[in-house]
Amino acid sequence: MRDLFAHPAHQEKDLGFPIPDSPHACSVCLPTWASVVGYEEGRDKVMRRLRAGYPRFVRHPLVARATQLAAVELAGDGDEVFLFPTRQSAQRGQRWIERRGEVAARSAGFQGLQALIVPKRGAQAAVDYQRFTGELISSRMAADLVEGTLRSGSKRHLLQRRLATLYRTQAPNVSVFGNGMAAVTAVLRSLPGLAAGRKTLQVEFPYVDSLKVQELIGNGAVFLGESEGESFDEALRRIRRGEFAAVFTEVPSNPLLRCVDLPALAKACREGGVPLVVDDSSVGPANVDVLGWADVVTCSLTKWLSGEGDVMGGAAVVRPDSEFAGEIGSALRQESEESAPIYIGDVEVLLSNLKGYSRRVATPNATALALVDLLSQHPGVEQVWHPSRTTRARYESVMAAGGGFGGLLSFTLRTAKKAAKVFDALELTKGPSFGTRFTLVCPYVMLAHYRELDWASACGVPSHLLRVSCGEEPVERLAERFESALRFA
């Protein structure tokens, strides 16, 4: 088992190494700028070396084994198989895939799960559906299926109780899911205004799939990339008129770590009878307390709350005095059973990983502040994004008691073309995701928006941006490694 604190995965030889060194790793090492490009373009010299990947983007090896078992039994020539956790999720997927892929798929039970058999020309639609919605099986579920030891039961109530403590609410207000995007999708489907055909509004530049799911699974989205000036004022007026099925935002946003004026946004939503959905994944509930403003808070448990990077999970927390609490809360409880229910094996790991969460985030909080100071003073660095510097007053207005500014930061260099050299020279673990106990660096925009770089740049998110998730290493060690790599800036 490789210790990524002592031996970061950052060299060419580490390409494809699981992050962390676990059969259930949720990330993979992409150690160079060229390997990131090769990954995005699907080049064989990169893809064949991948031993893991972010599970919604790269089929996990254990899921691939389980899928192959199903394919042997169910698939015909020219078919591909996709496993779903429930019949309801498979049926929803089938309708979307058939419409989007212009194919006829079929559904069949398989060892307690559900399989969709899709003609190859519709396979990309199936891949996209599972990526956007998060409705797929986990690596632990797949491993147990392969071994013939698939478990029943859930233990979800234990996870709900633990999360309720962190969110300063009661367990019935918490619904848990197989991953963060499954939670976001469940909230989207639970919106009363969706049946009326209304679009949603996304405020601030979000994590890529949070916007995609609104556009492709919902009724479409109106996107406001920056919550400033006349555009934001006009958005508030439209919210007060009740134009939207919901307003979605992140506090703070990823990767620019900006905050909307949440009290003003919440006030407009309440006046217009529009649900406000806030995602706090980028810093977690130990650092921000947004449930008092939001109707629903979503969070990826995969990140800071787990801290290990070896398990997926998601949560949706309803504010109990929200006017939508009854309708949305009831729908979410049903969704947690029908869309992407979290597997008992993953619940057990999350419960273990959650121990000490509130204390654990103190170190990355402090480390990020030190790195922000270092980077801000470096002559080769153009801009640094972190809640301590970016819309700080807005962030402080929703900061949790005893919380900090979070362990996630982003920066760009004055000379964009030097970003690849700096990234390649960083002797830190490099790959997608964040929130692990060890520091994790990636060229976020290249990974999230490779096929829409011009659009992202027009939104103020440059392609050469580097995102840093601070871990628990000594801050002096991290500073030395950044200073060394920045010689190439």
Q: Residue 16 has what pLDDT?
A: 96
Confidence of residue 428 (pLDDT cuts 50, 70, 90): very high
**The CA-based dihedral angle spanning residues 19, 460, 234, 210, taken in that order and rounded to the nearest 10 degrees:** -20
Whether the Cβ atoms of residue 142 and residue 335 lie closer than 8 Å to each other: no
Task: Report pLDDT digits (tens) over 227-266.
Answer: 989 999 999 999 999 999 999 999 999 999 999 999 999 9
Q: Residue 173 has what pLDDT?
A: 98
Give CA separation, 55 vs 51, 213, 312, 430, in Å. 12, 17, 9, 17
Both tokens of 143, joined, read: 């491993």
Confidence of residue 219 (pLDDT cuts 50, 70, 90): very high
Task: Return the closest-CA partner of residue 113 out of 70, 84, 154.
Answer: 84
Q: Residue 401 has what pLDDT?
A: 95
- CATH code 3.90.1150.10 region(s) in the chain: 361-488
- The helix (run of H) or strand (run of E) holding residue 211 is helix 208-216
Contacts 24+ apart (CB under 8 A), 372-378: 372/409, 374/479, 374/482, 374/483, 375/409, 375/411, 375/482, 378/486, 378/489
Q: What does the pLDDT average to over 443-471? A: 96
* DSSP3 helix / strand / coil % (the chain, rounded to 5): 45, 15, 40
Task: Return the closest-CA partner of residue 128 out of 44, 220, 212.
Answer: 212
Contact residues for 94 (Cβ-Cβ < 8 A; gap 6+): 105, 106, 107, 116
Q: Residue 474 has what pLDDT?
A: 95
Q: What does the pLDDT average to over 210-214? A: 96
Whether 468 has a pLDDT exceeding 90, the answer reads yes
Confidence of residue 100 (pLDDT cuts 50, 70, 90): very high
Q: Do the bridges between strand 381-385 and strand 466-469 make them parallel or antiparallel, or are there none, so unpaired?
A: unpaired
Q: Residue 5 has what pLDDT?
A: 84
- CATH code 3.30.70 region(s) in the chain: 61-137
CATH 3.90.1150.10 given to domain 361-488: yes
CATH number of 156-353: 3.40.640.10
In angstroms, rounded to a whole number, what is the distance separating the alpha carbons of residues 14 and 151?
34
Task: Report pLDDT digits (tens) over 2-60.
Answer: 889 889 999 999 999 999 999 999 999 999 999 999 999 999 999 999 999 998 999 99
Q: Which amino acid is at 485?
A: A
Whether 190 has a pLDDT exceeding 90, the answer reads yes
Q: What does the pLDDT average to over 174-198? A: 96
In angstroms, rounded to a whole number, what is the distance separating the alpha carbons of residues 414 and 314?
37
Task: Return the closest-CA partner of residue 96 out of 138, 133, 68, 59.
Answer: 133
In angstroms, rounded to a whole number, what is the distance separating the alpha carbons of residues 193 and 244?
7
Burial class (CB in 10 A: 0-12, 13-18, 19+), 191: buried
Confidence of residue 1 (pLDDT cuts 50, 70, 90): confident
44-82 burial code (b ≥16 CB/10 A, e <16): eebeebbbbbbbbebbbbbbeebbebbbeebbeeebbbb
What percent of the chain is predicted at pLDDT more than 90? 96
Q: Residue 272 has what pLDDT?
A: 98
- The helix (run of H) or strand (run of E) holding residue 366 is helix 362-377
Confidence of residue 204 (pLDDT cuts 50, 70, 90): very high
Task: Return the closest-CA partner of residue 257 out of 472, 39, 460.
Answer: 460
Q: What does the pLDDT average to over 456-481? A: 96
- CATH code 3.40.640.10 region(s) in the chain: 156-353
In angstroms, rounded to a whole number, what is the distance separating the alpha carbons of residues 307 and 69?
32
Mean pLDDT value across the chain? 96
Task: Report pLDDT digits (tens) over 366-421.
Answer: 999 999 999 999 999 999 999 999 999 999 999 999 999 999 999 999 999 999 99
Confidence of residue 130 (pLDDT cuts 50, 70, 90): very high
**Helix 139-147 and helix 61-74: axis angle, to 10°?**
50
CATH 3.30.70 given to domain 61-137: yes
What percent of the chain is predicted at pLDDT more than 70? 100
Contact residues for 467 (Cβ-Cβ < 8 A; gap 6+): 255, 408, 409, 410, 434, 441, 442, 443, 444
Task: Report pLDDT digits (tens) over 156-180.
Answer: 999 999 999 999 999 999 999 999 9
In angstroms, rounded to a whole number, what is the distance separating the alpha carbons of residues 136 and 180?
12
Q: Provide the whole-model pTM.
A: 0.96
Q: Which amino acid is at 145?
A: L
Confidence of residue 153 (pLDDT cuts 50, 70, 90): confident
Whether the Cβ atoms of residue 105 and residue 355 lie closer than 8 Å to each other: no
- The helix (run of H) or strand (run of E) holding residue 68 is helix 61-74
**Helix 262-272 and helix 229-240: axis angle, to 10°?**
30
Whether 334 has a pLDDT exceeding 90, the answer reads yes
